[in-house]
Amino acid sequence: MTEHTVSAYENELKGLAQRIAEMGGLAERQIASSIDALIRSDMDLARRVREADPQIDALHREIEETGILIIAKRQPMAIDLREIVGALRIASDLERIADLAKNIAKRVIVMNGALSLPKVSGGFDAMARLALERVKQVLDAYSQRDVAAALEVWKADGDVDALYNSLFRELLTYMMEDPRNIGSCTHLLFCAKNLERIGDHATNIAETVYYMVNGVTLADERPKLDTTTMVSVGS
């Protein structure tokens, strides 16, 4: 390739990474806003989250089209190809993260202020903060191509799961104590599951960063906090 072609190619790769950073920032904002809307029963904020989703979908389509076009034009190999494939994977995960945040906002609108269990708001806040922190950490790892930081996110995969399990049990307790809580608690269970899935997508991105830098996939299974099934009788 000529010097001009190489420069144009590098600019295309940089532009792709910038679009991922932009999409990541929007996804982070959607998570934070959806949880704020849930905890405060803020209908207007929930509607704004839902209305912002098409912007993220448009960015996702743009990244996909750009990545495919670069592959078709430049026929990249080795690390350059992994950069593009990785960007396409991460864009898909970010699009799903934003969808999950939108789903939380939709539940807020359906509940329409019916959340009458202030005790659980702290659990949601803690879980949301952790999920959001994981997304921020893994996007930083992507921007810096930092495998060690990506592995930290990967190793912490069970942390969000543990909070989800705790919140799940708490909500079930409320439903058993008073059947009138069943409706709102069911919506909240779906919201909690959405946050748990956001954590899973952050772990997906961590695995993609590892692949992009090293050229191989992580062979190990994701670590889990619950080790009770591995304890043998008499050990």
Per-residue pLDDT tens digits for 167-223:
999 899 888 988 888 888 899 999 999 999 999 999 999 999 999 999 999 877 766
E strand segments, 50-187: none
Which residues, other chains included, contact 148 with Cβ-Cβ below 8 Å and sequence gap of 6+? none
Q: What pLDDT sits at residue 226?
A: 40
Domain boundaries, the chain: 3-223
Give percent of the chain above pLDDT 90: 65
Per-residue pLDDT tens digits for 70-80:
999 988 888 89
pTM, to two decimals:
0.89
Q: At what angle do helices 78-111 and 43-74 cross, to 10 degrees?
A: 160
Predicted confidence (pLDDT) at residue 5 exceeds the cutoff of 90: no
Burial class (CB in 10 A: 0-12, 13-18, 19+), 169: exposed
The answer to whether 212 touches 83, Cβ cutoff 8 Å, is yes
3-223, what's its fold?
Methane Monooxygenase Hydroxylase; Chain G, domain 1 (1.20.58)
